[in-house]
Amino acid sequence: MMTTLDSNSRAAARGLSDLSIRNLFIIPTILFLIVFNIFPLIYSLGYSFTDFRASTNAPANFVGLQNYRELLNDPFVWSNFAITAQYVIVSVAGQLVVGFGVAMLLNRDIPFKGLLTTLLLLPMMLSMAVVGLFWKLLYDPSFGIINYALGLGTFEWLANPKMALYAVALTDIWMWSPFVMLLSLAGLSAVPKHLYEAAAIDRAGPFYTFFRITLPLVAPILMIAVIFRTMEAFKTFDLAYILTSQPTTELISIRLYKMAFQEWQTGRSCALAYIVLIMVIAITNIYVKYLNKVKER
Amino acid sequence: MAQVRTSSEVAFNRLAIVAVLVATVIFLAPIYWIASTAFKPRNLATTVPPTIVFQPEVSPFVKLFTKRSQLRAQPTPEEYAAAPWWERVVFDGGEKVVRDGKGAVQWSGYPSRFMNSLIVAITSTVLAVGMGTLTAYGFSRFRVKGEQDWLFFILSTRMLPPVVVAIPMFLMYRVVGLNDTHIGLIILYTAFNLSFSVWLMKGFIDEIPKEYEEAALVDGYTRMQAFFKVVLPEAATGIAATAVFCFITAWNEYAFALIMTNRRAQTAPPFIPSQVGSGIPDWTVIAAGTFLFLLPVAIFTFLLRNHLLRGMSFGAIRK
């Protein structure tokens, strides 16, 4: 009796070994992520080779690579990818120009700079779905404030197949330019002041200073912003789904959602999800490589 | 060095300040429009030209919280006089508040969705930050074989498009009966935020000098005690910032909530857009719901302002 008590209290004094604490702290998280992130993907990989429909009780039949073959030969799916690419380019380019532009303007002594910066950052913190919905009112052709402010009369934004994608991108630019601005400000404030002083002594013009000093030094951080936004824009679902139902705004996420939860082509949608997944992994790899490079500096 | 500035530089500086103010006004205009529409009488919400100056009223909020139906006949003067002020507001709008058999006022769908949002966001935040802090400490202080690969694995789970993850999760939840439950959504949001919280917390814990714990260990603390009594208090700011970020992400999330819930556990983001169905939507009520929903996030943004850069870049960029 005595000995057990003794050894127990000694163990308590020593506490758990570092090794067991490490395992205790790390393993639950890894397990949790495997069970709720990796296992579902394995589960859906299985379904992607079947003609399973979750809306019926019919058992799933193995169809081999048929889903993948049909998807990759489906011109509609390719047009969804093309729409997504167009959307990503327009919205990320817009965010880059607006975000970096506003950051350049902000990067000086301005009264209430902290308050202004925080106010400018507000849009990116808000819910895309809920604020996106309200943009429907802003875009309304007859009583929306956008047409009123720009003097566009009864210009159609969301009901116009040619304009709808740009309208969604414009809302996205509004929401996420602040993100590019935030990162740009960090980059700009890290440019050593003495470089500008040296340039001034050499009588360098503003263009020379911008292209030879500012831009090269801010470029790595801008690159992070671009990759980050590209990934997010590629995944866009909420905004486009809520704002319009035009075929011209059917991004790949929306196609996937409709295929899975409206047409109930479960097996096929699992295959499409895998095609999307591989693309995302490719972009993520580039992103993480870049992130590590920048962190090392 | 005394700065010598040419007059053109001074002029450019002034121009830039004006441009910043203009940009701020443009960026805040949609948010202002939500806030102002939330206090407008219904007939002023969709006027041409837009109404900017008006007498604010709270009728949109009364309508937001109550179940209403169209008035078939005007209320009698006695009825009107007997009604409390908020019921009169609804009468004025040509509607009446729906009451059950016992005369109790029926709530609209909004308060329960708001509560669901609170339950799901708070619980998943506590779980994600709790587990994330422990894991971050493990990675920060101990040698882990293949550390970079594990951290990449943790991060990659966050990069998946929500719809891709939602399809198998929906099928699995159907088998175990977790669709349309709080627990189902809490698990999803915890998994989603966990990777973020590990990455962010690792950055914060890396910044706490190891010497603090070593001194505590020399003083006879166990490793556990050192973690709870020395590291956690030092990491408090980081934990708070991480928690707010996780809360905002879960609070704002739409795609998972749309797919996994439909009534009992539905959160506000899929509920608010579902109010704009057929017919002419009452934008004042939508604005009121949106306004209340955005308010916590707006407040948190101000509290977080010094950590925004770090949080939004997954801890990659620190000030």
- B-chain residue closest to A188, CA distance: B319
Position A280 scores a pLDDT of 83
Are B172 and A40 a contacting pair at CB < 8 A?
yes
- Residue with the bigger pLDDT between A59 and A26: it is A26
Q: Which amino acid is at B189?
A: Y
In degrees, rounded to 5, the angle at the alpha carbon of residue A134 between the alpha carbons of residues A101 and A241 is 90
pLDDT score at B319: 60
Least reliable range by pLDDT among A33-37, A280-284, B22-26, B239-243: A280-284
B66 phi and psi angles, rounded to 5 deg = -110, 155
Angstroms from B217 CA to nearest CA on chain A: 10
pLDDT 10s digits, A165-185: 999 999 999 999 999 999 999
Average pLDDT value for chain B:
90
Contact B19 A131 (CB under 8 A): no
Greatest pairwise CA separation for chain B in angstroms: 82
Other Cβ atoms within 10 Å of B109 Cβ, number: 18
CA distance B12 to B229: 54
**Domains annotated on chain A, with CATH:** 66-296 (1.10.3720.10)
pTM of the model: 0.91
Residue A266 to residue B301, Cβ atoms within 8 A: no
How many A×B Cβ pairs under 8 Å?
A: 273
Mean pLDDT of chain A: 89
Q: B13 to chain A: which residues are within 8 Å by CB?
A: 108
- Both tokens of residue B18? 């004006």
pLDDT score of A15: 72
Cα dihedral A238, A241, A242, A247 sign: positive
Could you read off the pLDDT of B92-128 as tens digits, one per residue? 888 888 888 888 888 999 999 999 999 999 999 999 9
From residue A185, alpha-carbon distances to A6, A44, A84, A104, A193 in Å are 61, 42, 29, 8, 14
**What tokens appear for B274 in the block?**
């579902």
Contact B39, B283 (CB under 8 A): no
- Give me the interface pTM, i.e. the ipTM: 0.90
Cα–Cα dist B65/B68, whole Å: 9
What are the chain A neighbours of B319 within 8 Å (beta carbons)? Answer: 186
**Chain B neighbors of A238, CB-CB under 8 A:** 254-255
Q: Establish how many alpha carbons lie within 13 A of residue B178's alpha carbon, considering only the half-sphere containing its beta carbon.
A: 19
pLDDT value, residue B3:
54
pLDDT of B1: 43
Q: Could you give the domains of chain B?
A: 67-106 (no CATH), 110-274 (1.10.3720.10)
Q: With cut-offs at 50, 70 and 90, classify the pLDDT of residue A206.
A: confident
CA dist A263 and B10 (Å) reads 62
Phi, psi for A111 (deg, rounded to 5): -60, 140
B111 C-beta neighbours (distance < 10 Å), count: 13
Q: Is A79 exposed, middle or buried (0-12, 13-18, 19+ CB in 10 A)?
A: middle
Q: Do B224 and A37 touch (CB under 8 A)?
A: no
Give Cβ neighbours of residue A48 (< 8 Å, ≥ 6 apart).
Answer: A67, A68, A267, A270, A271, A273, A274
Tens-digit pLDDT profile for residues A125-181: 999 999 999 999 999 998 899 999 998 888 999 999 999 999 999 999 999 999 999
Which residues of chain B make contact with A148, given a CB cutoff of 8 A?
A: 48-50
Tokens 């100056």, located at residue: B53
Q: Do A131 and B290 touch (CB under 8 A)?
A: yes
pLDDT of residue B5: 65
Chain A residue numbers with beta carbons less than 8 Å from the beta carbon of B28 are: 119, 122
DSSP output for B195-211: HHHHHHHHHHHHTS-HH
Q: Is the pLDDT of residue A297 over 80?
A: no
Read off the tokens for B45: 């919400």
CB contact under 8 A, A126 and B165: no
